[in-house]
Chain A
Amino acid sequence: MKTALEYGRLLAERQIGARELAQSFMDKISSGNGKYNAVLRTCGESALSAADEAQKRLDVGAALSPIDGVPVLVKDNISTKGIKTTCASKMLADYVPPYDAAVIEKLRNAGAVIIGKTNMDEFAMGSTSETGYFGAVSNPWDASRVAGGSSGGSAASVALGFAPLALGSDTGGSIRQPASYCGVTGIKPTYGAVSRYGLIAYASSLDQIGALSIGAGDLRAALDIMTGIDKRDMTSADALKPSAQKVKPIGEMRVALPKEYFGEGLDDGVAKCVLSAAKELEKMGAKVSECSLSSVRYAVPAYYIIACAEASSNLSRYDGIKYGMRAEKYEDLSDMYEKTRSEGFGAEVKRRIRLGAFALSSGYYDAYYLKALKVRSIIKQAFYKVLEDYDMILCPASPVLPPEKGESLADPMQMYLSDIYTVSVNLAGLPGLTMPCGFCGGLPVGCQLIGRAFEENALLTAAEEYQKATDFHLRAAKEAGL
């Protein structure tokens, strides 16, 4: 098994060629993707010519970064110039962005080779990668189960060895939960650390781009490239890249276990794996103790009201005029809007737009939207308070193992509830990392580390140390023959 950094080193040492590497991953996708539907399209010639450019640099020892020439997959809600970007929606099924997202510019400038776009929930709205227009993503460990979502295609791709590194986005857990379900490592950085310019918006105050890989080292390399201020995103922060952040040794870290995260609704097998990770961190010298975060029960309803309100506003741009599809038949302008949106959006997207429109409507704004924003303040304060005494929080990423396909589509409320351990992190704007910490009935289980704002390196360092002492993160790779 090889990480993105290991591929980068082999390329720099010219033990392998960039074109051959890109081609071999795209070949692997074309032969293996059918059963899993993790990748929506590969880039073919444009990937190979980017690889050739990388090779010219590698040949003269002028690599632009540790991942110059390394193949990368990108979630299909991140704009890629000249490459279709669909958000897994009929609405954008033929949309080709005229520009690159800020993270794509940065990755290209670092020499990364974009080999394809990954499947997801439609407009990132879902927790199972089943709501997309192009069909569901299957879990690499058991194809009858879901890969998690909404970055399910990116998580499954890493587990299947389709690329050593993939980009995702996380609005309420969309990187951390599929990483848990697929047995890979994923990070959502602090809100503002990475520019959202070119990320097709779902809920702008919660959305953040991050990365998924086999191990934490690759995630640091990816964030080192992607972190930094961007004038085109007014919420972007002048953040230090992770490797420039000061970090304590693991032996001095204080880790909190919030007791409310280990209560009712948590699968016994998941609890066992996460607690064994706590023991392992303790063995490495970290001080682990219990804390209280009682606000957790309010996180899911507050999240759904806020996220859907923002979605209803953001998605009003799909009017059948400037981009995206337009209905074939309509009577007048208003009818064109309604028919276009009704034909272009799937059921889950419509459900969330309606909830958001309700929460923002006159008469209900104070009781629902404003109330949720106040609860958000309380949740944020509760997390900040715990993180005054601790360097990080350790908890599950999901209360359950990956569900069977179809279950969540039948009961969306159940799907929303499964986001209980991840949504608070977005409401508070904090960084969160998920890493594999065990197996239950042959299925991977991930644990989540939540840290202080702009202190991603603490999470990455803890994860790296943990991954030196354990091999859960390597098993997915082994199975896939990466």
Chain B
Amino acid sequence: MKIDDEMIDYVSALAKLSLPDDEREKARQDLQSVLEYAQVLSEVDTGGVEPSSHVAEAVNVFREDEIMPSFDKREILKSAPRVKDGQYLVPKTVE
């Protein structure tokens, strides 16, 4: 798998990370070298093997839909970088 400039730009856009021109080559090489190393996995015969996204015997955990106290709004908003009138302040999203 060859990682070119277009691919590293695409991956950065997916990850919402900007990629200045002077960092592109390093980022490209880093991804390239890990993927080259990961090639070793293609040796493994995984035919008929189920993937393990989890080691635990994962089952749905259900609970009753009960009304319980939640965190205090003022406490939670203390963590936000920008707040106005008790709400998160974000840039305009709809014209």
For the complex, what is the distance from the CA of A320 to the CA of B1, rounded to whole Å?
34
For the complex, what is the distance from the CA of A331 to the CA of B12, rounded to whole Å?
18
For the complex, what is the distance from the CA of A231 to the CA of B61, rounded to whole Å?
8
Instruction: Please judge, given known A-B contacts A235-B54, A301-B38, whether A358 and B31 are in contact too, CB under 8 Å.
Output: yes
- Which residue on chain B has the smallest CB distance to residue A322? B80
Instruction: Please judge, given known A-B contacts A231-B63, A372-B41, A374-B50, whether A95 and B55 are in contact too, CB under 8 Å.
Output: no
Number of interface residues of B (CB under 8 A): 50
Q: Are B17 and A336 in contact (CB under 8 A)?
A: no
A-B contact pairs, 18 of them (CB 8 A): A95-B79, A192-B56, A231-B63, A235-B58, A300-B37, A301-B37, A301-B40, A305-B38, A321-B81, A324-B79, A325-B81, A336-B90, A342-B17, A371-B46, A374-B46, A375-B46, A380-B52, A413-B37
Within 8 A of A (CB), among B61-92: 61, 63, 71-72, 75-76, 78-82, 88, 90-92
- Which residue on chain B has the smallest CB distance to residue A338? B18
Pick the contact of A341 from B16, B41, B51, B55 — CB < 8 Å? B16
On chain A, the residues within 8 Å of B92 by CB distance are 332-333
A224 shortest CB reach to chain B, Å: 21
Instruction: Please judge, given known A-B contacts A96-B78, A231-B63, whether A337 and B16 are in contact too, CB under 8 Å.
Output: yes
A337 shortest CB reach to chain B, Å: 5
Interface residues of B (CB under 8 A from A): 1, 7-8, 10-12, 14-18, 27, 30-31, 33-35, 37-38, 40-44, 46, 49-56, 58, 61, 63, 71-72, 75-76, 78-82, 88, 90-93
Greatest chain A CB density within 10 A among B42, B46, B92 is at B46
- Which residue on chain A has the smallest CB distance to residue B58? A235
Pick the contact of B71 from A98, A231, A364 — CB < 8 Å? A98
Q: Are A98 and B11 in contact (CB under 8 A)?
A: no
A-B contact count (CB 8 A): 152
Q: Are B31 and A355 in contact (CB under 8 A)?
A: yes
For the complex, what is the distance from the CA of A407 to the CA of B24, rounded to whole Å?
22
A interface bracket (residues with beta carbon within 8 Å of B): 35 or more
For the complex, what is the distance from the CA of A333 to the CA of B38, rounded to whole Å?
35
A349 shortest CB reach to chain B, Å: 10
For the complex, what is the distance from the CA of A28 to the CA of B14, rounded to whole Å?
46
On chain A, the residues within 8 Å of B93 by CB distance are 333
A457 shortest CB reach to chain B, Å: 20
On chain B, the residues within 8 Å of A325 by CB distance are 81
For the complex, what is the distance from the CA of A356 to the CA of B30, rounded to whole Å?
13
Q: Which 6 A-B pairs have the closest CB atoms?
A: A429-B55, A373-B51, A323-B79, A374-B46, A326-B81, A301-B38
Q: Are B37 and A354 in contact (CB under 8 A)?
A: no
- Which residue on chain A has the smallest CB distance to residue B59? A234
Greatest chain A CB density within 10 A among B42, B63, B76, B81 is at B81
Instruction: Please judge, given known A-B contacts A98-B79, A234-B61, whether A338 and B42 are in contact too, CB under 8 Å.
Output: no
Within 8 A of B (CB), among A373-400: 373-378, 380
Given contacts A305-B38, A374-B50, 8 further A-B contacts (CB under 8 A): A96-B79, A191-B55, A297-B40, A320-B81, A356-B15, A357-B11, A371-B41, A377-B52
For the complex, what is the distance from the CA of A356 to the CA of B38, rounded to whole Å?
13
A423 shortest CB reach to chain B, Å: 13
- A35 contacts the other chain (Cβ, under 8 Å)? no
What 1/0 flags go to A85-97 for Cβ under 8 Å of B? Answer: 0000000000111
Q: Are B79 and A376 in contact (CB under 8 A)?
A: no
For the complex, what is the distance from the CA of A24 to the CA of B12, rounded to whole Å?
48
On chain B, the residues within 8 Å of A342 by CB distance are 17-18
Instruction: Please judge, given known A-B contacts A298-B40, A301-B38, A429-B55, whether A361 and B14 are in contact too, CB under 8 Å.
Output: yes
For the complex, what is the distance from the CA of A471 to the CA of B78, rounded to whole Å?
49
- A480 contacts the other chain (Cβ, under 8 Å)? no
For the complex, what is the distance from the CA of A3 to the CA of B75, rounded to whole Å?
38
On chain B, the residues within 8 Å of A95 by CB distance are 79
For the complex, what is the distance from the CA of A192 to the CA of B58, rounded to whole Å?
11
- Which residue on chain A has the smallest CB distance to residue B54? A205
Q: Are A322 and B88 in contact (CB under 8 A)?
A: yes
Q: Are B16 and A316 in contact (CB under 8 A)?
A: yes
On chain B, the residues within 8 Å of A412 by CB distance are 30
Q: Are A376 and B52 in contact (CB under 8 A)?
A: yes
Greatest chain A CB density within 10 A among B17, B50, B63, B72 is at B17
Within 8 A of B (CB), among A330-365: 330, 332-334, 336-339, 341-342, 345, 350-351, 353-358, 361, 364
Q: Are A370 and B51 in contact (CB under 8 A)?
A: yes
- Which residue on chain B has the smallest CB distance to residue A353? B15
- A312 contacts the other chain (Cβ, under 8 Å)? yes
Q: Are B15 and A357 in contact (CB under 8 A)?
A: yes
Q: Are B34 and A355 in contact (CB under 8 A)?
A: yes
Q: Are B27 and A351 in contact (CB under 8 A)?
A: yes
Pick the contact of B51 from A96, A330, A376 — CB < 8 Å? A376
B78 shortest CB reach to chain A, Å: 7
For the complex, what is the distance from the CA of A192 to the CA of B54, rounded to whole Å?
11
Instruction: Please judge, given known A-B contacts A342-B17, A354-B31, A428-B55, whether A99 and B71 are in contact too, CB under 8 Å.
Output: yes
For the complex, what is the distance from the CA of A324 to the CA of B82, rounded to whole Å?
10
